[in-house]
Amino acid sequence: MKRFWFCLSLLCACQQSVVSPSAAVQGLRDMVKVGGSGTDSIGYIVMTSTETNELRVLQLDTGDATIFRKYLRAPNPIQALAIPVLKRPTTLATDVVYPSVADDNAIALDRLGPYVYAASPATAEISIVWAENTDATLGFSELKRLATIAPVTAMAAEGGDAAMRDGAGPLLPTPGTLYFATSDGTTSTLFRVNPRGPTELVAQDLQAEVQAVFTRTGETIIDMIVLPNHRLALATRAANGKTGTAGIYDGTTGALLVPLKFPSPVRSLYTHGEYKEPGQTKHPAGARVYGVLDEDTCGSSACGGIVSVESDTGERTLSAAGRALPATVPIEQRVAPPLTFGGGLVQSVGLTPSGLVAIPPTLGVAVPLPVLGVVTLSNGLIGAFRADQMEHLFAADAGASAVITLPDAGTFTTFDDAGAGPVVALANGAARDEDIFAVGNGYLPGLLSLVPDGGLYATDFAARAQVGDLIEGEGCTAATVTQVEAGGVRVGPACAAASINVRAAGAQPYVVTGTTQGYLGRSGSGQTLTFAGTYTAHYPGYDPSRPALSIAFPSSYTLHPDERYVIAVDDGFLETAFTLTTVGCSVGATTLPGAIFADSIRQKIFVGYPSANAIIELDPSLVRRTTSYDTGLLCWR
């Protein structure tokens, strides 16, 4: 797979002129944004300092053009503000409100806060922090420590629908409902509780007001998000770790409202605020739920990626190209395939309506997307995608191609498009980066080292053999396949060999295999091999009936035994993924990004780097295909 990495580096001199004094974060495991849209609130990023059992706060707007973001300072301004919380906080949640506006051509941005909830995987309690500065006594402090019956596995909070004013401060969403799940190793329980405003919360007997919504035995709630109208999307995992469910539940009664039909268990959930696609009615907040598929279910990245489902039906989201296909096309061919980013596993996802990004190969032109998606990956990269269409940012020059050689014909021969060699056709979105080998009288995969059992050489791949195929083994000089059965093959004359190998012969002596997709089929001189494959991307013009690969072998030449054509395939898939320099914060390596979110107010992306204990801020409109990009990055550490 040909990929263009967008290498981002920091201009240290420029960075130092705007950097806030260090917050000395130790353990940036999670971060959340608090503060509403427009002029409702200034906006802050609250992050964990896990090793010091504290939270730190980055103010997003200071009014100072020289230091336009800064870490809030303690009463002693030499030090950053530290909010003591429970031991080793690693997970944060905040109140979410999904406002809406009547104008179909305008969208309302989400409001977040005013509480931040902190939890630790080894501690049976939750810290409740007032993350606003509207009260000189209570602002940015832990107001309550809520004891739980077991360690917390997931949290989400729904802000109140009304607004409140603390003194002369700005309008803020009211505290609403905190949902949290616990697990004791056997039983998982979902709870809800309603914290009051900060002044009342100090005296509120919150512990007595906690209500159990439901319990589950043999499974754990691993993630949850709030949706409009007091609904929760939950993801669970069974005790064996290989199966799980996802669904939308009534946050009060715990009733299952909509099963979410992800193709396999998911390990994290996300949703969006309201957004608008050109020529369509406005999509309400929470219309889709995005899930990150759990790679543990198959043991590799092959079953990972991001999948979207519709929250009203639970059905998979159709791709843009899939929506254009007739309804007679099977739904499995119209849904958007899981979005993957090479070999990197998705760590965190950020979604923002009306997000700006430069779509390669266009340079310096920012395109507004109805919903911009950004992800951090386990290989150190950051990716971007169209969350509204559930597709990658396709480049105009994307297209699969192949180079064909005949390296065993005495001299190394390369065939051009007009040459006498094989003619290869590839389908964009289904072709794979790989080397394909067509071998004359080649060994058949799955029919090697077969041992006799009552005259039958058992194999699950017997269908690949044909009567007349050659048998290789001691004393098997004249033996061939005489019969192909469901569970194996029979040969004659009988062989004395302890095991045999089967080579292709007869009308289809070519064995065709790929380094990525494995066995592709059999063919021969003057024949055409087709391989349906699987589409992993729906490009414009997507036709699911078109095979991933077809190879027309010339009749003018026949491969000798063990002679081969080599077809080097480039799938032309150009994902948008970029990285920082290994040292991007002057001190500390920026190699493995963690939590990420896109800020719709400032049109910036904020990425937490545990390796540097820092937040990197970048401008998505400046992303471009280049190996030397050093513009618009700031480091807050």
Catalogue all structural domains in the chain, each as residue range(s) with its CATH number.
5-396+576-636 (2.130.10.10), 401-570 (no CATH)
Task: Indicate the SS3 state at residue 92.
Answer: strand
Specify the 3-state DSSP secondary structure of 17.
Answer: helix
| Dist CA 383 CA 149 (whole Å) | 39
Among 384, 425, 403, 372, which residue's Cα sits nearest to residue 543? 425
3-state secondary structure of 322: helix
- Residue 356: helix, strand or coil by DSSP? strand
Does 458 have pLDDT greater than 70? yes
Which residue from 85, 10, 78, 76 is spatially nearest to 46, judged by alpha carbons? 85
Q: What is the pLDDT of residue 377?
A: 92
Out of 303-317, 400-414, 436-450, 550-564, least confident range: 400-414
Who contacts 620 (Cβ-Cβ below 8 Å, separation ≥6)?
A: 355, 356, 357, 358, 366, 372, 374, 384, 598, 603, 604, 605
C-alpha triplet 390, 391, 395: angle, nearest 5° = 160
Q: What is the mean pLDDT of residues 526-535?
A: 96
Cα separation, 384 vs 362, in Å, equals 15
Share the mean pLDDT of the chain. 86
Give me the mean pLDDT over the 178-206 stretch.
93
Q: What is the pLDDT of residues 233-290, one digit of tens each?
A: 999 999 877 899 999 999 999 999 999 999 999 999 999 999 988 888 899 999 999 9
Say if residue 311 is exposed, middle or buried (CB neighbours under 10 Å; 0-12, 13-18, 19+). buried
Written as one letter, the residue type at 86 is L
Of 428, 437, 404, 424, the C-alpha closest to 521 is 437
* Per-residue confidence (pLDDT) for residue 511, from 0 to 100: 98
Given strand 528-531, what is the order of strands in its sheet? 423-426, 549-552, 528-531
The two structure tokens encoding residue 476: 């098997």
> Quick one: which of 210, 201, 537 has its CA closest to 390?
537
Return the amino acid letter for 550: S
- Residue 412 pLDDT more than 80? no
> What was the pLDDT predicted at 2?
43
Residue 191: in which H helix or E strand, if any? strand 187-193
- Residue 39 pLDDT class (50, 70, 90 cuts): very low
Can you give the pLDDT at residue 398? Answer: 60
Segment 138-174, tens digit of pLDDT: 778 999 999 999 999 999 999 876 554 444 444 455 6
- Asked whether the beta carbons of 564 and 422 are under 8 A apart, the reply is no
**pLDDT, position 344:** 87
User: Which pLDDT value is given to residue 625?
Assistant: 54
Bridge partners, residue 31, by sequence: 47
Question: CA of 333: how far to CAs of 321, 330, 428, 545, in Å?
Answer: 10, 6, 15, 9
**What pLDDT does 542 receive?**
92
- For residue 157, what are its two tokens? 């909070």
pLDDT, average across residues 537-555: 93
421: exposed, middle or buried (C-beta count within 10 Å: 0-12, 13-18, 19+)? buried
Rounded Cα distance between 379 and 633, Å, is 20
| Confidence band of 413 (pLDDT split at 50, 70, 90) | low
pLDDT band at 540 (very low <50, low <70, confident <90, very high): confident
417-437 pLDDT per residue, tens: 445 789 999 999 999 999 999
In this structure, are residues 220 and 241 in contact, taking their beta carbons and an 8 Å threshold?
A: no
Task: Please report which confidence band the pLDDT of residue 581 belongs to, taking 50, 70 and 90 as the band edges.
Answer: low
Q: Coil, strand or helix: which one is 59?
A: strand
Confidence class of residue 362 from pLDDT cuts 50, 70 and 90?
low
Nearby residues of 557 by Cβ (< 8 Å), 6 or more positions away: 420, 421, 525
Average pLDDT over residues 2-30: 58
pLDDT, position 363: 55
